[in-house]
Amino acid sequence: MSATRNDATALVSAAPTPAAHTPFGLDGADTCVRMISPGGVFEPNAAAEQFLPYLDRLTEADHRRFYRDMVVVRKFDTEAANLQRQGQLALWVPSHGQEAAQVGSAYATRPQDHVFPSYREHVVGMIRGLDVVDILRMLRGVTLGGWVPEEHGNFHLYTLVLASQTLHSTGYAMGMQLDGSTATGNPETDQAVIVYYGDGASSQGDASEALVFAASYQTPQVFFLQNNHWAISVPVARQSRTPLYLRASGFGMPGTQIDGNDVLASFAVTAKSLDDARAGHGPSLIEALTYRVGAHTTADDPTKYRDPDELAYWVARDPIVRFRNYLQGRGIEQEFLDAVDEEAADFAADTRRRALDITGPEQSVIFDNVYAEPHPLVAEQKAWLDRYEASFDEGEN
Amino acid sequence: MTAATDTSVASASLPMTKALNAGLRRAMLDDPSVLLMGEDIGSLGGVFRVTEGLIAEFGDKRVLDTPLAESGIIGTAIGLAMRGFRPVCEIQFDGFVFPGFDQITSQLARMRNRHEGGLIMPVVIRIPYGGHIGSIEHHQESPEAYFAHTPGLRVVSPSNPHDAYWMMQEAITSNDPVIFFEPKSRYWPKGEVRFDESGTPLHASRVVRAGTDVTVVGHGAMVSVLSQAADLAQAEGISLEVIDLRSISPIDYAPILGSVQKTGRLVVTQEAPGFVSVGSEIAATVAERAFYTLEAPVLRVSGFDTPFPPAAVETHFLPSPDRVLEAVDRVLAY
C-alpha cells in the first residue's frame, strides 16, 4: 500500500494571475472589421473592405429599422430589469451594450434560416418575429421554454447551460445537409444556422466539440461569438490568452473579428458568412467585440469587480449613440429620432402591462410532456397529486 | 467485409451482436429517418461489430463515423432529432458515457418538456455495459441508475438475442429518448432469434423461469446468473422464480408483485453498486406495495460500493450464482 502523495498542504502555490485586462481590439486594431468610427463617421478600415458589397443590400428603411430596433430593445431591457426589481420576474438578463452586434447579425439572416440563441439575444428574437413577452414568461417562472420556434422565425429556445446549444445547432445544420435543404445553389431557399454564444461559453467543452463537428461535416453554420468581456465576474483574459476569433483557424474554419458595437459591420460580416454557409462553403466564426454594460443578471453586482474607467471607455463607444451620429451625418430628420424614442417608451410600457397579465400555468404542467408516450410512474403521480389536492376541497365542504 | 445480418428467414441462432445488427438494419429499412452515429461504427463496424456491414448497405449519410467526442455525439444527435431524424448513438463503452452526461440529462431528457410538448426526441443511446469481460478501467461499469434517476429518459436492457433484436426496433420507434444498455458479457453467446414473431413490449418485465419459493429479479447479464443460481437451487430442492426486468425505467411491477404474492420472498440483483440503485428502488416499492405478503425483508445482491476493481478480482466484485444463493438462504431463514 503506497502512502498518499498529494497531502502536502504546504506546497499549495498561488494561482497564476491572468494578464491585466485591456479592452483590446476596438480602437486601432486593423484586423477588426469596422465600418463606422466610434464618433459615427462612415470610414471602413482595411479589414472591412471585402465586406463592403454587402452593405449595398441595405436601404434607407433598413438603416432606420436598425436604429429603431436598437433603441426599442434597450428601453425594453431597462423595463424588464425594473420588473425584476419589483418582484415581477425571477431574473432578468440584460442586453444593454450588445444591441449592434445582435441587430446587425439578426438582419443578416433569411427567413428560412434557423437561429439558436444563448439567453441574452432578446432583439434577435424580436427581429425573427418573437413576441418578447414570451421571453418574459420564462423569466417570470411560468414556463421552461416559452415559444414554438417554427412559429417564430425559427428562433429556438433559450439555453441556460452554457454552450449546450452550439452542439444542437451543429446537429441541426447537419440535418439540413442530410435532407438536402442547403447548398442547392438557390440562395432564396438554401438554409443555414446561426448560433449565438459568448466569451464565457467559449471555454466550455461543448463549444469546442461543436466547432470540431461543424468543421468535420462542413455544416452550413455561423458561430456568432459575442465577446462582451465578462463572464459574470471573470474577465475574458481568464478565458483566453488569444483573441477568440483566432481559435477558428485551429478548428479549420474562417474566423473574423468585428467591432461588435458597429451595426453595419455586424450585418455585413454575418451576411457574407451566412451566404457562404448556404452556398455550401462550410462553417465560420465571428467574434463580435462588445461590452456587457449592465450586470450579468439582476442577481449580479458588477461594481464589485469592474473598473469604472473600463465601463466609461465602453459607454463612450455606445452602439446606439454611434449609429445615431452616423444617421445624423446622413441627414436623418430629428422627427424620426424623436418618434423612435416615443415608440420605445410605448413598447416598454405595453410590455410592462402585458408582463403583469402573464398568468398560469396549471399544475398539470409538472407532468405533461415529460414523455411523448404513456409513462406509468408519471401518470400515477399526476393522479395522486390531483386526488391529494382535491382532498383539501372536500375537507372544506 | 461482413454483410449485415439476414432477417428474411423465420428464425436464426445468433449472438446478441448479430441480433442487434439485425434490429438496427430492420429499423433503417423501415424508416429512412433512422441514422446511426458513433465512434468507429462505419468501416470498422464498431469495436464490438454491432454495426458491421451497415455503412456498406446504407452509406455514410445514414451511418456517421463521428469525431471522438461523446458530448458532441449526443448534442448533435439532439439537433438532428429536432430536425426530424431518429439518431441511434453508440457510446463505445459504459465508462465513456460521462463526457456526454450533461447533454443527456440536462438537454436530451428535458427537450420535449422544455418545448411544452412541441417536439419529440426519438434518440436512442446504445451503451455496452457491465463486467465479466476482464477488461481495464472504465470498460466494465454499470451506470444505469444515473439514467433511471433522470426524468424524461427511458432505460432498457435486453438479456438475450431475441429481445435484443426486438427491443432495439421498439426503442428506435419510441418517440422518447431511450438509453439502451447492452450487456457486453452476453454479446457472444448465441440464442434463438425469431424474426417472424413480434417481441414483448419494450417496457414489460417477464418471468423467464417459474418457481415457488423465492423471486429473484435482475436485468441484462444478471439474468443468466440468476438462471444458473436457479439450477443450483433446484438441485437443493429450492424453487426460484426468475424475472428478467428488461426495462429499468419505467419498471413494470406487475410480474414482480404477482410473483411476490406467490413466493413472499424477493432478492433483487445487479452488477451496479447497491447504494441508491435500481435494486434499492425495487426493494422500496415492493415493501410499499406488498408489505403484508412479504415473509422476509427484500434483499439486494449488488456490486460493492467501490469503483469497479481491477479485472483480476472482478469475480469477487460481481454477484455470482453463489452470492445470489447466499441471499436466497437468508430470505428463506425468516
What CATH class has B206-332? alpha beta
Within 10 Å of residue B174's Cβ, how many Cβ atoms? 22
The predicted pLDDT at position A394 comes to 76
Q: What is the pLDDT of residues A282-297, one digit of tens each?
A: 999 999 999 999 988 8
The predicted pLDDT at position B197 comes to 83
Which residues are within 8 A (CB) of A224 and not within 5 positions of it... i.e. 6 or more apart? A101, A105, A194, A195, A196, A197, A270, A286, A288
Using alpha carbons, list the distances in angstroms from residue B215 to A224, B167, B268, B296, B298. Answer: 58, 24, 8, 12, 10
CATH 3.40.50.970 spans which residues of chain B? Answer: 11-194
Interface touch A157/B115, C-beta < 8 Å: yes
Q: Which residue has the higher pLDDT, B185 or A24?
A: B185
Percent of chain B with pLDDT over 90: 96
The predicted pLDDT at position A7 comes to 64
Is residue A365's pLDDT more than 90? Answer: yes
Alpha-helix residue ranges (DSSP H) falling in chain A = 52-55, 60-85, 99-107, 122-127, 132-139, 164-178, 205-217, 236-239, 247-251, 263-278, 308-315, 319-329, 334-356, 376-396
Q: What is the pLDDT of residues B88-127, one digit of tens each?
A: 999 999 999 999 999 999 999 999 999 999 999 999 999 9
Which of chain A's residues have a Cβ under 8 Å away from the Cβ of B106? 161, 164
Q: How confident is the model at residue A318 (pLDDT cuts 50, 70, 90)?
A: very high
Interface touch B117/A369, C-beta < 8 Å: yes
Q: How far is residue A18 CA from its own chain's centroid?
A: 26
**Angle formed by the axes of helices B278-289 and B254-263, nearest 10°:** 60
- The ipTM value here is 0.96
Mean of pLDDT values over B271-286: 98
Which of chain B's residues have a Cβ under 8 Å away from the Cβ of A172? 79-80, 82-83
**Three-state secondary-structure class, residue B152:** coil
CATH 3.40.50.920 spans which residues of chain B? Answer: 206-332
The predicted pLDDT at position B283 comes to 98
Q: What is the pLDDT of residues A193-239, one digit of tens each?
A: 999 999 999 999 999 999 999 999 999 999 999 999 999 999 999 99
Interface touch A213/B66, C-beta < 8 Å: yes
The predicted pLDDT at position A30 comes to 80
Extract the C-alpha cell encoding B285: 416499492
Mean of pLDDT values over A312-318: 93
Within 10 Å of residue A205's Cβ, how many Cβ atoms? 14
Q: What is the pLDDT of residues B196-214, one digit of tens each?
A: 887 799 999 999 999 999 9
Report the distance separating Cα B321 and Cα B327, nearest Å.
Answer: 10
Task: Return contacts of A367-371, CB within 8 angstroms, 24+ apart.
Answer: A368/B116, A368/B117, A369/B112, A369/B113, A369/B115, A369/B116, A369/B117, A370/B112, A370/B113, A370/B151, A370/B152, A371/B112, A371/B152, A371/B154, A371/B176
Helix or strand (DSSP H, E) at B209 = strand B206-209
Q: Which residues of chain B from 135 to 164 reach within 8 Å of chain A, CB to CB? A: 151-152, 154
Percent of chain B with pLDDT over 70: 99
The predicted pLDDT at position B199 comes to 72
* Lowest-pLDDT range of A27-31, A61-65, A267-271: A27-31
Closest CA to A373 of B159, B315, B152: B152
* Residue carrying the nine cell digits 403521480: A381
What is the CATH number that goes with domain B11-194? 3.40.50.970
Q: What is the pLDDT of residues A144-197, one digit of tens each?
A: 999 999 999 999 999 999 999 999 999 999 999 999 999 999 999 999 999 999
User: Which candidate in A119, A178, A217 is best for mutational testing of the B interface (most B CBs within 10 A)?
Assistant: A178
Nearest-CA distance B51 → chain A (Å): 20
Q: Which residue has the higher pLDDT, A294 or B217?
A: B217
Closest CA to A351 of A67, A123, A63: A123
Beta strand A234-235 with A230-231: parallel, antiparallel or unpaired? antiparallel
Cβ–Cβ under 8 Å, residues A118 and A160 = no
Is residue B243's pLDDT more than 90? Answer: yes
Is residue A13's pLDDT more than 80? Answer: no
Report the distance separating Cα B169 and Cα B166, nearest Å.
Answer: 5
Q: What is the pLDDT of residues B8-50, one digit of tens each?
A: 888 999 999 999 999 999 999 999 999 999 999 999 999 999 9
Report the distance separating Cα A368 and Cα B112, nearest Å.
Answer: 10
Interface touch B85/A144, C-beta < 8 Å: no
Catalytic residues of B: 139
Extract the C-alpha cell encoding B236: 437443493
Q: What is the pLDDT of residues B297-307, one digit of tens each?
A: 999 999 999 99
* Lowest-pLDDT range of A17-31, A138-152, B265-279: A17-31
Which of chain B's residues have a Cβ under 8 Å away from the Cβ of A156? 82
**Three-state secondary-structure class, residue A125:** helix
Q: What is the pLDDT of residues B44-67, one digit of tens each?
A: 999 999 999 999 999 999 999 999
Residue A379: closest C-alpha in chain B: B250
Which residue(s) pair with B90 in the sheet? Answer: B38, B126
Which residue(s) pair with B89 in the sheet? Answer: B37, B125
